[in-house]
Amino acid sequence: MNSVGRRLRNATAVLTLAGAAFSMAIQPATAHSGYFYKSRSGCVYTGGLSAAHNYAWTVKDKGDCAGHAWLLVQYSTGKWSAEEHASGSVSLSTGTEGIAHAFHKTQSGESWVQSH
């Protein structure tokens, strides 16, 4: 009986630790991703920063207004990207530096909005 009780305690401990590790692995990813949404002049723009901090994007999802999708990022090293823009979508990805912050806008004279 003592052996069975010990096995049950060990199994319970393993399952508890596995559950805690799984929940900790999931939470930081969702907590660190960021999103951008803006509706202007009949157009809808979205953008964001991936949970892994290696990909940022801005997209004109809907509408035929003249605005562009704009993107600016600050890398984890502190360096800044060039301002990128296009009529449909723009994105930046990095494998080694990482992206600390992503900024978006929908036209040249507009203020930048940080998604993360």
**Which residues does residue 55 pair with via DSSP β-bridges, in sequence order?**
93
Judge whether residue 32 has pLDDT over 60: no
Quote the pLDDT of residue 64.
87
Collapse the DSSP code of 36 into the 3-class scheme (helix H, G, I; strand E, B; otherwise coil) and give the result.
strand
H, E, C per residue of the chain: CHHHHHHHHHHHHHHHHHHHHHHHHHHHHHHHCEEEEEEECCEEEEEEECCCCCEEEEEEEECCCCCCEEEEEEECCCCECCCEEECCEEEEECCCCCEEEEEEECCCCCCCEECC
Question: What average pLDDT does range 38-50 have in this prediction?
Answer: 91
Which phi and psi angles does 30 have, rounded to 5°?
-75, -30
Residue-wise pLDDT tens digits, 49-101: 998 899 999 999 998 888 899 999 999 999 999 999 999 999 999 877 799 99
Which among 26, 54, 52, 36 has a CA at the least distance from the CA of 115? Answer: 36
